[in-house]
Amino acid sequence: MSQPDEAATDALPEPEGASELIETDYEIGQDNITPRIGPFGLDIHNPVFVVSGLVVVAFVIITLAFQDAVGPALGAMRGYLTSTFDWFFLMAGNIFVIVCLGILVSPLGKVRIGGADATPDYSYLGWFAMLFAAGMGIGLMFFGVLEPAYYFGTPWGDQPLGRDIGIVDGELMDPATVEAARLTAMAATIYHWGLHPWAIYAVVALSLALFAYNKGLPLTVRSIFYPIFGERIWGWPGHVIDILAVFATLFGLATSLGFGAQQATAGIGYVFGIDGLNDTATFPVILIAVITALALISVLRGLDGGVKVLSEINMVLAVLLLLFVILVGPTMTLVTQFFGNMGAYASEIFALSNPVGREDDGYRQGWTSFYWAWWISWSPFVGMFIARVSRGRSVREFITCVLLIPTIVSAIWMTTFGGTAIDQLINQVTESAVYGFVIDAYVPELSLFGMLSELPFAAITSVIGIILVIVFFVTSSDSGSLVIDTITAGGKINAPVSQRVFWVIFEGLVAAALLLGGGLVALQAASVSTGLPFAIVLLLACYALVRGLLTEPR
Amino acid sequence: MFRKVIFPVDLTHFDQLDKALQVATDLARHYGAELCFVGVTGTAPDPVAHSPAEYAARLERRAQDHAAATGLRTGAKACHTPDPTIDTDKTLLAAIRELGGDLVVMQTHAPSALDYIWAGHGDTIAAHSEASVFLVR
């Protein structure tokens, strides 16, 4: 037998070319325990796995048992946080964008994730498909028609920047007002899906990737804070950060899965003309079971065979749907509008992102601040997943592909879906299905199908829409389980597969329990509420990130 | 009869591989074959190494130490994959093919009920590799 590993450590070369490892006595996996439950061997971090598992179960039980009290309390807390701290969320969002753009243009952009000689694990296309599917795929399906149409004609007074709207009491305004309202609606929508959310993801993802792949710390959220807390991150401060991340991810996913099942059910009912599918929980629960089963298969096929394949399928389907709407919808209008919308986004971004002295409370607090809290509470999940697939990219390449390209893609998507919907509103006013679902009666889950119903081949495109929604959820459920498993295994990515299976099933069960017992809204409020503490955590992460990058060889 | 013996290695549990390593060594010596250590690691830092390059260096070191101790010709190949939990078998099979291994000796766990659902690495390699496979419990 040869000598033990430890003796060989000093003679080893630097990892993948030059990089600056952090010297720590902590050994990855040293706090892990490896119990056996029947034939299942586990490799889990103690106490992160145990505490997060128990907290989730306790929270679900309490929410189900006392939903009359818990629901309104959590809802009120969410309302309080997003309306009282709106300035803080908006300001934090601006800081994330500035930090990312600053790194992009500075020499720090030359640093390579994984060491100077690391090579990328995925092609551009596979990589981009995965980050888009994890980042916002499902949101684009839900809000693509809803948000622009809503801002264009909201009768509830929460239009962006307090500007005039295009339709008042079912009457179309004069052409100049309509055009101004359209541009404001598009700019305000792209603002929510553009630089700001992706900057939030980029900060988390880049920090995680840097501290794991370049600094040699475990791939878990606590590692980002090493420059600030030092060795203390291996103790309770680190446990709390990781548990919060698991909590936000699991509840974010479970509530989205619950809502998603209801939306897909509504869509199926609408497309196939079946009434009352959503009246009982039976059909949505079956849908959750189907999504969970598909996610299970995807999990067992791994990153390459599962998430990547699904993300690519989704990208192809989404591009087909996009091209269809562009070609069949008002093609030339959409093409010219795209540049106008980007111009409006560029010129309005300062007014929209201004955190103080504004009077559009409905938009700023009800939409922007809520979105920012939502993106931030999702950032450990999306950030960790993006980090996982981004090794080998340079920081400049990373920020370009995680910040700038998604912003353009989101803008194209919003222009196409929102632009077509607004075009229908302008031409048919109260006769259009979008008017019925967005402005007259608020049925947001049907807005996309309403828009598609006025284009040819509506039956086919609506079915593609439903498939896209379902596959996006499968992808989220799979990648979410991957992330939760990595965090609860103390940053190890080779933990036994049974743990991932556990998290996929657990997530489906939590979603089904909440759907049956009520409490989806309450838990969504709880996970959004984690946005505020996380916003503070992320601001600290910006500091740690820049410090970490400064010590890297460029 | 055999020219290259492949010995899949889990560096995390290297000290538990004595029996299989002894079998691999004996067979390699008997047939005058090269003994090649193959390891699969993830891209993220783990208890064994901070990076794939560091892992490769550790594996190489193991192989050299073994050559010095036994006088055999040894080699080492470190493979990395973003998802080692799932892709270890696939990666190992590809490495065996690429290296031209004609005999695989590997340690495997005692069978359990779970093997009916998820086969162990040894079972999968034995089922899918074109090389001869010797599993050591």
Name the residue with tokens 């209008």: A333
pLDDT of residue A533: 86
Spatial CA neighbour of A486 closest among A22, A15, A29? A29
User: What's the rounded Cα separation, in Å, for the pair A25 and A317?
Assistant: 48
CATH of the domain at B89: 3.40.50.620
What pLDDT was estimated at residue A297?
92
Taking the C-alpha atoms of A245, A249, A252 and A253 in order, what is their torsion angle to the nearest 10 degrees?
A: -170
Task: Note the pLDDT of residue B105.
Answer: 92
- The minimum CA-CA distance between B102 and chain A, rounded to whole Å, is 24
Average pLDDT, stretch B104-124? Answer: 79
- Any residues with CB less than 8 A from the CB of A39 and at least 6 apart, and which? B112, B113, B114
Cα radius of gyration (chain A): 23
Residue with more model confidence, A171 or A518: A171
3-state secondary structure of A32: strand
Share of chain A above pLDDT 70, in %: 96
CA angle B121, B123, B129 (to 5 degrees): 90
In a domain, B46, yes or no: yes
- CA–centroid distance for B58 within its chain: 14
Per the structure, the complete domain to which residue A216 belongs is given by 29-172+189-270+281-550
* DSSP codes of every residue in A155-176: TTS--GGGPPPSEETTEE--HH
- The answer to whether A399 and A304 are in contact (CB under 8 A) is no
Task: Classify residue A46 by its DSSP letter.
Answer: T
Closest chain B residue to A483, measured at CA: B83
Q: How far apart are CA A117 and CA A390, in angstroms?
A: 14
Spell out the SS3 assignment of B113-131: HHHHCCCCHHHHHHHHCCC
Q: Is residue A179 part of a domain?
A: no
- Specify the amino acid at residue A242: D
pLDDT (0 to 100) of residue A461: 92
Establish if A21 belongs to a structural domain: no
How much is the pTM?
A: 0.88
DSSP H helical segments within A272-366, as ranges? 282-302, 308-328, 331-353, 361-363
> Into how many domains does chain B fold?
1
Share of chain A above pLDDT 90, in %: 40
Average pLDDT over residues A215-219: 90
Judged against a pLDDT cut of 50, whether residue A58 lies above it is answered with: yes
Locus of tokens 């592909």:
A401
Does residue A536 fall inside a structural domain? yes
Fill in the amino acid letter for A59: F
Asked if residue B4 has pLDDT above 70, the reply is yes
Strand B4-9, strand B103-107: pairing: parallel
Residue A15 predicted with pLDDT over 60: no
Highest mean pLDDT: which range of A11-15, A352-356, B85-89: A352-356
Predicted confidence band of residue A109 (pLDDT cuts 50, 70, 90) = very high
**Inside any domain, residue B55:** yes
Q: Which of A28-42, A240-254, A414-428 bottoms out in mean pLDDT, i.e. has the lowest? A: A28-42
Instruction: Tell me the average pLDDT of chain B.
Output: 87
Q: What is the pLDDT of residues A176-201, one digit of tens each?
A: 999 999 999 999 999 999 999 999 99
pLDDT in tens, A456-481: 999 899 999 999 888 888 988 888 88
Average pLDDT over residues A9-23: 56
On whether residue B120 sits in a domain, the answer given is: no
Chain-chain contact of A304 with B83 (C-beta, under 8 angstroms): yes
CATH of the domain at A302: 1.20.1740
CA distance B72 to A261: 61
pLDDT value, residue A514: 81
Do B86 and A300 lie within an 8 Å CB cutoff? yes
Q: Closest partner residue to A219 among B44, B52, B83, by Cβ? A: B44
Reply yes or no on whether the pLDDT at A42 is more than 70: yes
Predicted confidence at residue A133, as pLDDT, reads: 80
Q: β-strands A171-172, A44-45: how paired?
A: unpaired
The verdict on residue A276 lying in a domain is: no
First to last CA, chain B: 24
Mean pLDDT of A1-5: 38
Domain annotation covers residue A5: no
Q: Is the model's pLDDT at A156 over the cut of 80?
A: yes
Q: How far apart are CA A305 and CA A299, in angstroms?
A: 9
Establish if A80 belongs to a structural domain: yes
Structure tokens, A39: 């034939």
Q: Domain for residue B28, yes or no?
A: yes
pLDDT range class, residue A10, cuts 50, 70, 90: very low
A507 neighbors A292 (Cβ within 8 angstroms): yes
The lowest-confidence range among A25-29, A339-343, B31-35 is A25-29
Q: Give the integer Cα–Cα distance in Å for A135 and A195.
A: 13
Average pLDDT of chain A is 87
Please report residues of A whose CB lies closer than 8 A to that of B45: 28, 212-213, 216-219, 491
Measured in angstroms, the CA of A34 and the nearest CA of chain B are apart by 14
Alpha carbons A510 and A254: distance in angstroms, whole number = 6
The count of structural domains within chain A is 1
Q: How far is A354 from A162, CA to CA, in rounded Å?
A: 14
Burial of A441 (0-12, 13-18, 19+ CB in 10 A): exposed
For range A418-431, the mean pLDDT: 93
Residue B59 pLDDT level (bands cut at 50, 70, 90): very high
For chain B, percent of residues with pLDDT exceeding 90? 41
Give the range of the structural domain holding residue B41, as residue numbers without chain letter. 8-112+126-136
Per CB-CB distance under 8 Å, the chain A contacts of B92 are none
pLDDT of the residue at A12: 37
Q: Is residue A418 part of a domain?
A: yes
| Angle, in degrees to the nearest 10, between helices A458-488 and A236-271 | 160
Residue A394 reports pLDDT greater than 90: yes
Nearest chain B alpha carbon to A114: B51
Of B11, B44, B81, the CB nearest to A491: B44
Q: Does the beta-carbon distance from A303 to B83 stay under 8 Å?
A: yes
**Whether A494 and B11 lie within 8 Å, measured CB to CB:** no
Contact assessment for residue B50 and residue B64, using Cβ atoms and an 8 Å cutoff: no
Query: DSSP secondary structure string, A376-400?
Result: HHHHHHHHHHHHHH-TT-BHHHHHI
SS3 of B62-100: HHHHHHHHHCCCEEEEEEECCCHHHHHHHHHHHHHHHHC
Q: What is the pLDDT of residue A39?
A: 67
**Does the pLDDT of residue A338 top 80, yes or no?**
yes
Backbone angles phi, psi at A69, to 5 degrees: -90, -40
Across A486-494, average pLDDT: 86
* Phi, then psi, of A23 in degrees rounded to 5: -80, 120
Cβ neighbours of B43 in A, within 8 Å? 114, 121, 213, 391, 493
Of residues A369, A311, A373, A356, the one with CA closest to residue A527 = A373
A509-530 average pLDDT score? 80
- Judge: B43–A38 Cβ closer than 8 Å, yes or no: no
Q: Do B47 and A29 touch (CB under 8 A)?
A: yes
Predicted pLDDT at A17: 61
CA distance A101 to A400: 9
Flag whether pLDDT at A370 surpasses 90: no
Contact B89, B122 (CB under 8 A): no
Element at B104 (helix H, strand E):
strand B103-107
pLDDT of A7 higher than 50: no
Does residue A9 fall inside a structural domain? Answer: no
Beta carbons of B85 and A8 less than 8 Å apart: no
Give me the pLDDT at residue B92, please.
92
- Chain B residues with CB under 8 Å of a chain A CB are 11, 14-15, 18, 41-54, 57-58, 61-62, 65-66, 69, 81-88, 112-114, 118
B121 within domain boundaries: no
In angstroms, the separation between the Cα of residue A388 and the nearest Cα of chain B is 7
